[in-house]
């Protein structure tokens, strides 16, 4: 694993942008895997403000809540529209279809999408419990797209985006760990003290489903882009 540490989240986002920019300049971003959440917002802002053009690229998002329409302001589809696609449209953008409750159909379809669009660069955040995508502790490393019941800690962490915690969806569709590991390159961003323990376990701990991100130790091209707080236990 390559580890880049910057003093602030802003500086770290600039480093992540430099990686994206470099790949884009060399036409190596035909398919970009994207994450939602607060962590990539600085990166997305820099992309929005750049002159990069993704109109010939494809995006695939990690996950989507079950039960929300793409037009729902709390959906990840909407989030991406607002923070990236409105300014930088891709040729095609894929999400697991959160509006469809038929999990077998949705996950099969998304696995087909991923098979047809191998990811050149996957952007990841990390949960305080080491989750990547919505792959919570205990998820099999062999998993592909699947439906997950969100843990209480993830529901609590996500409640900040909703008016009240009862509105946080209880299920999501997510790419699996094997889907993420199939990406050619991965950058994982983590900012803030609350991510420090997860980063420590990801980098120095045993590779175990108890810390889903620890599997990244086995990926051939992973870069962690951290601020000093997230790196403070390394």
CB of 167 to ligand F6R, least distance (A): 17
Whether 131 is catalytic: yes
Helices 41-49 and 9-25 meet at what angle, rounded to 10? 50
153-to-52, 107, 166 alpha-carbon distances in Å: 36, 24, 14
Residues between 123 and 162 with contacts to ligand F6R, criterion CB under 6 A: 125-127, 131-134
- Among the listed residues 64, 97, 120, 136, the single catalytic one is 136
Q: Is 38 in the site for ligand F6R (CB under 6 A)?
A: yes
- Among the listed residues 131, 135, 144, 227, the single catalytic one is 131
Q: How many residues are listed for the chain in this entry?
A: 234
Q: Which of helix, strand or coil describes residue 121?
A: strand
Q: Is 100 in the site for ligand F6R (CB under 6 A)?
A: no
Q: Which residue lies nearer to ligand F6R by CB, 63 or 229?
A: 63
Q: Is 16 in the site for ligand F6R (CB under 6 A)?
A: no
- Token pair 């701990």 is found at 205
CB of 65 to ligand F6R, least distance (A): 10
CB of 47 to ligand F6R, least distance (A): 16
The answer to whether 180 and 121 have CB atoms below 8 angstroms apart is no
Q: Tally Cβ neighbours within 10 Å of residue 51.
A: 5
Closest chain position to ligand F6R (CB):
125
The answer to whether 147 and 104 have CB atoms below 8 angstroms apart is no
- The strand order across the sheet containing 171-174 reads 63-65, 171-174, 146-149
Q: Which residue lies nearer to ligand F6R by CB, 27 or 194?
A: 194
Q: Is 179 in the site for ligand F6R (CB under 6 A)?
A: no
> What ranges in 125-219 are assigned the alpha helix state H?
152-158, 177-181, 196-204
The answer to whether 136 and 129 have CB atoms below 8 angstroms apart is yes
Binding test (CB under 6 A) with ligand F6R, winner from 12, 24, 31, 63: 63
CB of 87 to ligand F6R, least distance (A): 19
Interacting residue ranges for ligand F6R, rule: CB under 6 A: 35-39, 62-63, 125-127, 131-134
Which residues participate in catalysis according to the annotation? 63, 129, 131, 136
């Amino acid at each position: 694993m390559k580890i880049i540490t910057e003093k602030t989240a802003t500086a770290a986002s600039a480093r992540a942008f430099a990686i994206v920019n470099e790949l884009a300049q060399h036409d190596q971003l035909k398919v970009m895997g994207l994450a939602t959440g607060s962590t990539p917002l600085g990166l997305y802002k820099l992309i929005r403000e750049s002159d990069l053009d993704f109109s010939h690229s494809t995006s695939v998002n990690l996950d989507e809540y079950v039960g929300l329409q793409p037009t729902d302001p709390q959906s990840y589809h909407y989030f991406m529209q607002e923070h990236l696609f409105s300014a930088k449209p891709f040729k095609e953008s894929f999400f697991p279809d959160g509006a469809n409750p038929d999990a077998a159909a949705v996950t099969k379809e998304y696995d087909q999408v991923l098979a047809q669009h191998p990811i050149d660069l996957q952007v990841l955040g990390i949960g305080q419990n080491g989750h990547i995508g919505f792959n919570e502790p205990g998820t099999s490393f062999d998993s592909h797209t699947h439906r997950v019941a969100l843990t209480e800690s993830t529901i609590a962490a996500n409640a900040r985006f909703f008016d009240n915690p009862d509105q946080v969806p209880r299920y999501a569709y997510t790419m699996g760990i094997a889907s993420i590991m199939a990406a050619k390159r991965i950058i994982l961003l983590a900012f803030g003290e609350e991510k420090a323990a997860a980063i420590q376990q990801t980098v120095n701990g045993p590779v175990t489903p108890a810390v889903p991100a620890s599997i990244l130790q086995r990926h051939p091209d992973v870069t962690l882009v951290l601020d000093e707080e997230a790196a403070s236990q390394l």
